Amino acid sequence: MSEEVELPQEYLTFLLGGEEYAIDILKVQEIRSYGSVTPIAQAPNFIKGVINLRGSVIPVIDLRIRFGLGTVEYTEFTVMIVLSLGARMVGIVVDGVSDVAQVRPSEVRPAPEFSRAVDVRYIDGLAMQEARMLILVDIERLMLSADMALVDETLGESCANQ
């Protein structure tokens, strides 16, 4: 056991195609039900459109479509996680939000290089907690990357490189 006191970090975990992903809870603005989405013409199919979040117009991405996972259906139980990434906000649709997990740095293992829905570039590591394995995602880098088509290209590159 380490003598230093390890401060656990809080992560929000969600399900995506049978795997459990975890994102820094400080990047989460709120969780709300899916609805009132205005589609954007000629946008990629995983960009569902924009919503009105208290006067701001923010885009919504369905990660299930983006990564080809899970069952893509919209019911009254479909939720989206609204992320706050610097000045930007974006909503993501996932299979389901599970809970808030406490992860100690000592529990984090480097992610092995094998094929998974989310590219290993955006994965900070794997956290082993008893029976379950959490995949820690650097959600900010992932969302602002060119893959997500969320930002204008030049801007997207500079943000992704930060």
Partner 1 sequence: MSFDMSQFYSVFFAEAGEHLDSMETILLDLDLANPDTEQLNAIFRAAHSIKGSAATFGFHDMADLTHVLENLLDRIRKGEMRLRTEIVDTILDARDVLTGQLAGHRDAAPVNVAAAQLITQRLEQWIAAGNAPSVPAMDAVGLSVSFILDGLESSWTKVIEAVCTELASLGTVSIAAAPVLPDQPWVLHLQGAPDEAAVRDVLEFVARDGTVEIAAQSALTLSPSANDDAYGLFEPLDVLADDDAYGFFAPLPEPPLSDETYGFFEPLPVSADVPPDNRPAVRQTNTVAHAEDTIRVGVGKVDTMINQVGELIITQAMLIEAARDLDPVAYERLHTGLQQLERNSRALQESVLSVRMLPIANVFNRFPRVVRDLAAKLGKQVALRISGEATELDRGLIERIVDPLTHLIRNSIDHGIEMPLARAAAGKPAEGTITLKALQQGGTIVIIVGDDGAGLDRARIVAKASERGMAVTESMTDAEVWNLIFEPGFSTADAVTDVSGRGVGMDVVKRNITAMGGRVDIESLAGVGTRMTVRLPLTLAILDGMSVGVGSHTYILPLAYITESLQPATHMVKQMGGVASLLQVRDSYVPIVMLHALFGIDAAVTVPEQGIMVLIEADGQQAALFVDALVGQQQVVIKSIEAHYRRVPGIAGATIMGDGQVAFILDAVALVQRAHAGLPAAA
Q: What backbone torsions phi and psi does residue 146 show, to the nearest 5 degrees?
A: -60, -25
Nearer to partner 1, 31 or 108 (CB): 31
Q: Determine if 152 is a binding residue for partner 1 (CB under 8 A).
A: yes
According to DSSP, the residues that pair with 132 across neighbouring strands are: 129
Considering only 31, 58, 65, 126, the residue that binds partner 1 (CB under 8 A) is 58
> The tokens 């401060």 sit on which residue?
7
With residue 61 as reference, give the H or E element that holds it.
strand 56-62
Count of CB atoms within 10 A of residue 144's CB?
Answer: 23
Q: Determine if 18 is a binding residue for partner 1 (CB under 8 A).
A: no
Q: What backbone torsions phi and psi does residue 34 show, to the nearest 5 degrees?
A: -80, 135
Contacts 24+ apart (CB under 8 A), 141-146: 142/118, 143/61, 143/83, 143/85, 143/90, 143/92, 144/85, 144/88
Residues 67-126 contacting partner 1, CB under 8 A: 87-90
Considering only 16, 23, 28, 50, the residue that binds partner 1 (CB under 8 A) is 50
Nearest distance from residue 71's CB to partner 1, in Å?
Answer: 23
Nearer to partner 1, 8 or 39 (CB): 39
Select the span of 18-26, 70-78, 102-110, 145-153 touching partner 1 (CB under 8 A): 145-153
Q: What backbone torsions phi and psi does residue 144 show, to the nearest 5 degrees?
A: -90, 0
Nearest distance from residue 87's CB to partner 1, in Å?
Answer: 7
Considering only 6, 10, 25, 56, the residue that binds partner 1 (CB under 8 A) is 56
Q: Which residues bind partner 1 (CB under 8 A)?
A: 36, 38-43, 49-52, 54-59, 87-90, 149-152, 155
